[in-house]
Amino acid sequence: MELTPLSPYQHAFIGHYGNSRADYFFSSRGDWRDAGYRTRLDDLVRNTAGDTPKDLDSYSLYVYEKTATLNAGFDGDALRGVHDADLISFTRWTRGKVDIFYLIEDGDVVYDVLEDVAINPPWEFD
C-alpha cells in the first residue's frame, strides 16, 4: 500500500483559517474495519504530510481509491462532488495539529481515526 499523488495534487488557497493547502493522493482501498489497515493508512498519511502542516494555518490531505480514472494518468478533473464515492480518507491539520481524520466509504464517514471509533450511523462527508 502506498500513496501516489494525483495530478495536480496540490491546491493552495486562503481559507477560513488563513493560509491553506489541500493535497490529493490515490491508493488501494482496504477494509476500514481492519485495525492493521487503519494503522498502515494512518502511518502513510502522517509520513506523507511530514512537516508540511506546520507551515500552514490549515492543511488537508485527501486519499482516493485508485480507479480507471483516478490513477497516474489523472488529468486534473474536479474531484469533490464527482468522485466522492471513491474517497478513502480525509485528514486535516489546523495550525500544525491534526484535528480530523476520517475514513470514508461510498461518500459516508464510517470511522473516526482520532477517536478510534466507528461512526454509527455513518454520515455524508461534505
- Decide: 100 and 91 in contact? Cβ < 8 Å: yes
CA distance to 60, 84, 118, per residue, from 3 (Å): 14, 18, 23
Take residue 112 and report the three cell numbers written for it: 473516526
pLDDT at 8: 66
Q: Is the pLDDT reported for residue 53 higher than 80?
A: no
The per-residue pLDDT for range 55-103, each reduced to its tens digit, is 789 999 999 999 888 888 887 767 777 788 999 999 999 988 999 999 9
Question: Residue 75 and residue 5: Cα distance in Å, rounded?
Answer: 12
